[in-house]
Amino acid sequence: MEHSNFSTLQRSNNSPLYILVIKGKPEGPFSIDELKAYNIKPGDFVKTAAMDDYKEAREVAELRELFGFSKPPAIPQYFAGFDQRLMASALDWFFVSGVCILIAFMAVLFISEKEARIAVAFSLLAIIPIVKLIYHIIMECTAKRATYGKQILRIKVCDMQGNQISFGRSLWRNIAKIFPVMTFFVGYLFSFFNKQQQCLHDMLAGTLVMKDRLF
């Protein structure tokens, strides 16, 4: 099968198809039975059309179960630095602010009163932070585990085992950001003093911001 037809084959097959790295080169796609014939090892790298990047076979639940892998999923080891998190936040502010300003601008076109236009403009000061909070809460508990800013920087939010967080934990994590703000942003500096580079709100929520491993 040709590698270029990977996505098409993935959609037409009920079970996932995997690209397998063999001697440093991606080969496939292969079905699970074909992977088994290759005597796939827990540390071999695989990828499906739904994955953003390659993973070790032991990190894929379906393969661990199929081959009886006893090793647990790999615990996150690569964490986003303060600079990456800051850049992702800046991008998210840009995206959210841009959308809110565009909507407000379109609304103003239908408002003739000067006072009402000014009120709409000033309301953005309250609306943008609220929309950004909701945006973070929703995006960080999806399968992507990241806002668009984080996705661009290839970082994502997870629990202490690297799993997708629940809506409740995402809600608490983002509400907990008020504590770093109340301490004049000192809570964000916590990331410089622990190996997992957690900010205060991450410690309170039991979350990590990890980097996608590059292949």
> Does 77 fall in a domain?
no
> Does 174 fall in a domain?
yes
Using one digit for the tens of pLDDT, what is the confidence trace for 154-169?
999 999 988 899 999 9
More confident residue, 46 or 184: 46
* Same-domain status, 102 and 14: no
Residue pair 60/33 in contact by the 8 Å Cβ criterion: no
- Give me the mean pLDDT over the 63-70 stretch: 62
Which residue range(s) make up the domain with 107?
82-211
The token duo for 188 is: 């964000």
Peptide bond into 42 cis (omega under 30): no
pLDDT of residue 1: 44
> Does 13 fall in a domain?
yes
Helices 114-139 and 82-108 cross at an angle (nearest 10°) of 140
In angstroms, how far is CA 147 from the centroid of its own chain?
A: 6
* Same-domain status, 93 and 198: yes
Domain count, the chain: 2
d(C-alpha 100, C-alpha 65), whole Å: 46
* Same-domain status, 118 and 141: yes
> Does 73 fall in a domain?
no
More confident residue, 8 or 129: 129
pLDDT of residue 68: 61
> Does 152 fall in a domain?
yes
